[in-house]
Amino acid sequence: MRHVRPGAVAEARAPIPTLADEDIPNTTDTLRPAGAMPPPPRGVPRPGAFMPSAAALERADATATPIPGIRVRPSSPLLTAPTQQSAEAPVEKPVQRDASPPASPEQRVSVPSMAPPLAPNLPTSIGAATSSMLPGHVENVSLGLRVALGFLSALCVLLALSLVFALYALSSEPRVAASATPTPSASAKPRERTPSPAGCVLRAPAAKLYSSVERSIEPRFLDLNTERVAIGFAATRSQAAGIVVELGQLDSNAVFDEARERPVLGVTPVSAEPLTFSADRDDGVLTSPHSLDVTPRTVLGFTGDGLAKRVEGRTPELIWPLAREASTEPRVVHASPQAYALALRQGGLTGTILSGWLDADLKPASELLPVAAGAKWVGSPALAARGDALLLAFASRDSEGEAWRIRLGKAEAKKPVTSVVVHSTPNEGLGNGAIAPTLAALGNDHWVLQWTQGSAGQYRVYVQELGPDLRPVGAPVAASPKGASAGLGAVRVRGDSALSVFVLTVGGRDELWGASLQCH
């Protein structure tokens, strides 16, 4: 038994001072602190008072640079001051907010065309332009912000009114009478969901799991969880291998590799920590050995007296005496914590299939009895079991000219198989018939059967669900790809998920392939 190989922290910056953080020098008596009450109304000054001289006008025109204010859309009639007046429409003179009297038509000076455009709320006189150079322009900014907030408030009011109008319009629509609305009743049945198709369906199409495989050695499984399974097999005649397969995408990882001189007769994954694999080889003590997933390591095989078990480090113990005839490897499955089921063929193609039960200590729980096959030639038996029953499958025929057929035999716990039935396989592509069956137990007293069907160079692998009466459930599913010859292998079931593995011949080379299925 071999063991498996095993963002940057940002710097803090000083905040950039804003107008609200700076100390604004109070250089004019017209400024007032934010939030103060507006000054009392002033009388209208007399025309011509405080008119600047021509020299002052020249200096102001040369040095004063108006500070742009908050821009307001010209479309607002409340905030826009007209720049051009029509001769036909008289315009009232606006009341000036500063102490400078309004200029007469002869004394008005327009802003030069090269200067930046003034905001509509800024004074247009030279005296106001001169005073706008002072820090008092903050007052104009605050006024612009108040105007913007006022505009937003008006927009919110309009949106609210629109919402109220929409709700009113919806409420005024004619309502459907209550009697016209269907109501569920106690007698009404809920809508039934479309049932899933019966039987097995492909979940993931066939994919290569390993680049080489020895076709005469059946793969063995160990469930790791619902989506991962370990598989032990012979990669070549003398090389044992083990992989772990993810059922969702059929991804496989090689975890075990052991090459020796003696041929491989079987590879069993063992549920230990870490995961291990037991490679069966002819050691001269037991022939046709079959390791079990138990600790300490226990192997079933044949001695000169019959079927025996050998616990690691001990001498073999006889289980059932048998005549000295050629026998196939004993197939054994764990039916329950207290029982194992076993089957084998003795005597070659024209021999007899035997089955029996063992207890938890691998001691006889029943006799090893022959199965009435009902045919002249029989193949190696496949076996599946649960706590209350076992199922046998084998290929059979009565003459060389007859196609091989799969036969099934079922028995209750610790009871012999008393009768067999012929499984109905599809006639399309039957060829030489159906061979190499393998089985797995499915829930609710159902089973999953896999077999190979076709003729030389055109074999395909099929999977079929069976009911409690061993009749097919749903249609058989072709697990192997079309156009390639495939066969043998094994099937594993966990819950309603199934994994079909088989040998696919590509360019004269045998590869291990698998397909994932869902069985309902």
The count of other CB atoms within 10 Å of the CB of residue 271 is 13
Residue with token string 């803090």? 12
Transcribe 162-230 into DSSP letters.
Answer: HHHHHHHHHHTSPPPPGGGS----TTPPPPPPPPPPSSEEEEEEEEEEES---TTS--EEEEEETTEEE
> What is the C-alpha to C-alpha distance for residues 379 and 396, in angstroms, rounded to an integer?
6
Model pLDDT for residues 293-311, shown as the tens digit of each residue: 988 899 999 999 999 999 9
Cβ neighbours for 382, distance < 8 A, ≥ 6 positions apart: 331, 343, 392, 393, 394, 437, 438, 439
Model pLDDT for residues 178-196, shown as the tens digit of each residue: 344 444 444 445 555 555 6
Alpha-carbon dihedral sign for residues 256, 258, 264, 268 = negative
Give φ, ψ of 178 to 5 degrees: -60, -30
Does residue 257 contact residue 272 with C-beta atoms inside 8 Å? Answer: no
**Would you give per-residue pLDDT tens digits along the chain (520 residues)?**
444 444 433 443 444 444 344 444 444 444 444 544 555 555 544 544 445 555 544 544 444 444 444 444 444 443 444 444 443 444 444 444 444 444 444 444 444 444 444 444 444 444 444 444 444 444 555 677 777 778 788 888 888 887 766 766 665 544 444 344 444 444 445 555 555 678 999 999 999 999 999 999 999 999 999 889 999 999 999 999 999 999 888 999 999 999 999 999 999 999 988 899 999 998 889 999 999 998 889 999 999 999 999 998 899 999 999 988 889 999 999 999 889 999 999 999 999 999 999 999 999 999 999 999 989 999 999 999 988 899 999 999 999 889 999 999 999 989 999 889 999 888 777 888 999 999 999 988 999 999 999 988 889 999 999 999 999 999 999 999 988 899 999 999 988 899 999 999 988 899 999 999 999 7
What residue segments make up the domains of the chain, in order of their start? 111-142
Cβ neighbours for 44, distance < 8 A, ≥ 6 positions apart: 95
Provide the β-strand partners of residue 334: 340
